[in-house]
Amino acid sequence: MSELKVGLIGNGSISESHLQAYLSNPKAELVAVCDLNEERASETARKYNIPHVYTDYRELLANPLVEAVSICTWNDSHAEISVAALRAGKNVLCEKPLCKAVDEALQVEQAVRETGKLLQVGYVRRHAANIAVLKKFMDAGELGEIYFAKASLIRRLGNPGGWFADKERSGGGPLIDIGVHVIDLCWYLMGKPKVKSVSGNTYTKLGNRSNIENYDFYKAADYDGSFNTVEDMANALIRFENGASLLVDVSFSLHAKDNSAQINIYGEKGGAEIEPVLSIVTERHNTILNIEPQISTPGFDFQGSFDTEINHFVDNCLGLTENICPVEDGVEMIKVLNAIYQSAAEGREIHF
């Protein structure tokens, strides 16, 4: 007998990673699915033998069997569905970003406070095995205080189109889609310092580069090269009250030689490079050391990290562990992302 009965809202690409993780967790049982696209929801239910199928999330939430939900819908519905789920007495795992705007984020936070239910933000990178290793070093004080971090995710050609390219549904382009992962991870590893100010730039110089031939890239199911309302790239400098700073650049389109990923943190006693594989840098006996941890997954292990994230959610729901991705961390990130967009639009630094 499973201990936690789960409903999955939104049955698109990323829901498959949630599904696989729930299926491999003996304490959880998937009892309901929901998607606006009936065929997609029915196909998922058929494939995984899930008894209850809906096209309206309200009906799924009205099912008393469901104790917890994963929300894997477009960003524009995250807040509405989270609030409704919490108020229906369900615990929530909400995919990143928590939502699009600060006022919505505050409504979700208020619903968590008023209902006493749990909301875990889908910051999957926090759950990567290499981060668990790095945290052990950091918690033992081996890097000292982190005063600088650098987060960069560059796609030279990688606007997925569909809802990702529609600002109304996504809230923005690479900044809110992939930037949220790396900004959050750095901020988390830095000890979640209070943000002092944000200065950002966004560009729409190249568009989605749908003219490019002979080069494959990931496309959303409903890809349409003629439609794109999101930025191509964004960069930002985030200053913290403790004097630390975080430098970010992310893109869907850029004249870069390669796609690249870089997440680096620098402290008083040591530093760490997280992408493409974890290495730790320090100094002993007047000698610089590059430490290469010998671990099975030194880079970001996609499904493994989802498994760990969902195991954490299930255990949180069962009261066995304490949520490491609380709603407050979702709210803070929406404030940061919105401030970067505001700074870019107004051409000035935004003070918190």
Confirm if 35 and 60 have CB atoms less than 8 A apart.
no
Q: How far is the CB of 66 from ligand NAD (least distance, A)?
A: 14
Does position 85 bind ligand NAD by CB under 6 A? no
Among 25, 70, 75, 282, binds ligand NAD (CB under 6 A): 75
Compare residues 122 and 200 and give the one whose CB is closer to ligand NAD.
122
The residue sitting closest to ligand NAD, measured at its beta carbon, is: 12
Stretch that binds ligand NAD, among 25-33, 67-75, 138-146, 232-240 (CB under 6 A): 67-75
Does position 290 bind ligand NAD by CB under 6 A? no
Q: How far apart are CA 193 and CA 182, in angstroms?
A: 15
Q: How far apart are CA 127 and CA 132, in angstroms?
A: 7
Q: How far apart are CA 96 and CA 280, in angstroms?
A: 28
Compare residues 280 and 334 and give the one whose CB is closer to ligand NAD.
334
Strand partners, 238: 198, 246
**Pick from 262, 279, 261: which is nearest to 270 by CA?**
279
Does position 313 bind ligand NAD by CB under 6 A? no
Q: How far apart are CA 223 and CA 162, in angstroms?
A: 5
Among 108, 112, 124, 146, binds ligand NAD (CB under 6 A): 124
- In total, the chain counts a number of residues equal to 352
Site for ligand NAD in 214-243 (CB under 6 A): 220
Q: How far apart are CA 53 and CA 322, in angstroms?
A: 31
Q: Are strands 119-122 and 91-95 parallel, antiparallel or unpaired?
A: parallel
Per the listing, tokens 């401030």 go with 339
Does position 35 bind ligand NAD by CB under 6 A? yes
Does position 77 bind ligand NAD by CB under 6 A? yes
Q: How far is the CB of 82 from ligand NAD (least distance, A)?
A: 11
Q: How far apart are CA 18 and CA 202, in angstroms?
A: 32
Q: How far apart are CA 329 and CA 120, in angstroms?
A: 9
Q: How far is the CB of 176 from ligand NAD (least distance, A)?
A: 8
Compute how many residues bind ligand NAD; rule: CB under 6 A: 25
Among 57, 240, 252, 300, binds ligand NAD (CB under 6 A): 57
Confirm if 68 and 3 have CB atoms less than 8 A apart.
no
Within 8 A by CB and 6+ apart from 142, the residues are 269, 270, 280, 282
Does position 122 bind ligand NAD by CB under 6 A? yes
Compare residues 95 and 109 and give the one whose CB is closer to ligand NAD.
95
Does position 9 bind ligand NAD by CB under 6 A? yes
Compare residues 122 and 179 and give the one whose CB is closer to ligand NAD.
122
Does position 247 bind ligand NAD by CB under 6 A? no
Binding residues for ligand NAD, per CB under 6 A?
9-15, 34-37, 40, 57, 72-75, 77, 95-96, 122, 124, 163, 177, 220
